[in-house]
Amino acid sequence: MFADLINMIYPLSCPTCEQVREDKKIPFCLQCQYQLPYNQSHLNPDNEIARRFWGRLPLHHAFSFLYFVQGGKTQALLHELKYKGNQEIGEFLGKLFAHTLQEAKIAQDFDLIVPIPLHPSKLQKRGYNQVDCMARGMAAVWQVDWLPDALVRVRANVSQTTQDRMGRLENAAQLFAVANENLIKNRKVLLLDDVITTGATIESAGLVLLEAGCQTLSVAALASGQ
């Protein structure tokens, strides 16, 4: 009752359009949910994400959920998730993504979700890993394992925003180690990140998962560029 009173006085707004949220059970308004730039890459095995890893990683699946456009709704949601502590957005988007893959009968190809980890110094500063939020939502829908500590980031990488492709690849080399190979061996792994750019970070993580003996490796991200 007290929460309802607070919401009447200070109604919750949508982080993407700033309109009042009609449904308080979801972290952004229904109109924005329908208007998100879904890319449907999971329906095409020969999609742009999969082609990005040709000759780099032997992947079972590769796709992203949304398009990322500067100034668009995806960027607004990611900003809320990463920099404003709104972890609910990550978990909700993870659930949406999971239901989408489930409807396409792709979810059955995974029995373990491995999120890309933050470096401990960044994790301590932020207090949470935004990719963990997404993984938690996906795992809840599929009822599969997710391991936030499966990968260890052994060194911090410098900001990649001003680097060209070769610089990003060099920066991402040997970033990760597997914490316990027994937890990876013979598993059908979905490696999850928030945004795919060059794929260098995912490639570095994917290589160590393959070395640890996973049965199949797939990669997914919440967003990728058009």
Q: What is the pLDDT of residues 86-128, one digit of tens each?
A: 999 999 999 999 999 999 999 999 999 999 999 888 899 999 9
What pLDDT is recorded for position 175?
87
CA–CA dist 119, 39 (Å, integer):
29
Collapsing DSSP to helix, strand or coil, 164 comes out as coil
In this prediction, residue 15 carries a pLDDT of 87
pLDDT at 1: 44
pTM confidence score: 0.88
Separation in Å, CA 96 to CA 21, 26, 136, 203: 18, 11, 12, 25
Give the pLDDT confidence of 141-180 residue by residue, as tens digits.
999 999 999 999 987 655 444 455 555 455 555 789 999 9
pLDDT at 16: 87
Structure tokens at 162: 């001003």
Give pLDDT, residue 11: 62
Degrees to nearest 5, angle at CA 141 with 140 and 147 = 40
DSSP codes joined into one string, 148-160: TTSEEE-SPPPP-
Q: Does residue 13 or residue 159 have the better pLDDT?
A: 13
At residue 20, the pLDDT reads: 85
Average pLDDT over the chain reads 88
- Say what the pLDDT of residue 172 is: 53
- Residue where the block lists tokens 């939020």: 133
5: pLDDT confidence band, cut at 50, 70 and 90?
very low
Instruction: Order the strands of the 112-115 sheet from edge to edge.
Output: 62-68, 216-225, 188-196, 112-115, 145-146
- Residue 111 and residue 187 in contact, taking contact as beta carbons nearer than 8 Å: yes
Alpha-carbon span 76 to 73, nearest angstrom: 5
Instruction: Provide the 3-class DSSP secondary structure of residue 186.
Output: coil
Q: What is the mean pLDDT of residues 51-59?
A: 95
Cα atoms in the Cβ-side hemisphere of radius 13 Å centred on 26: 18
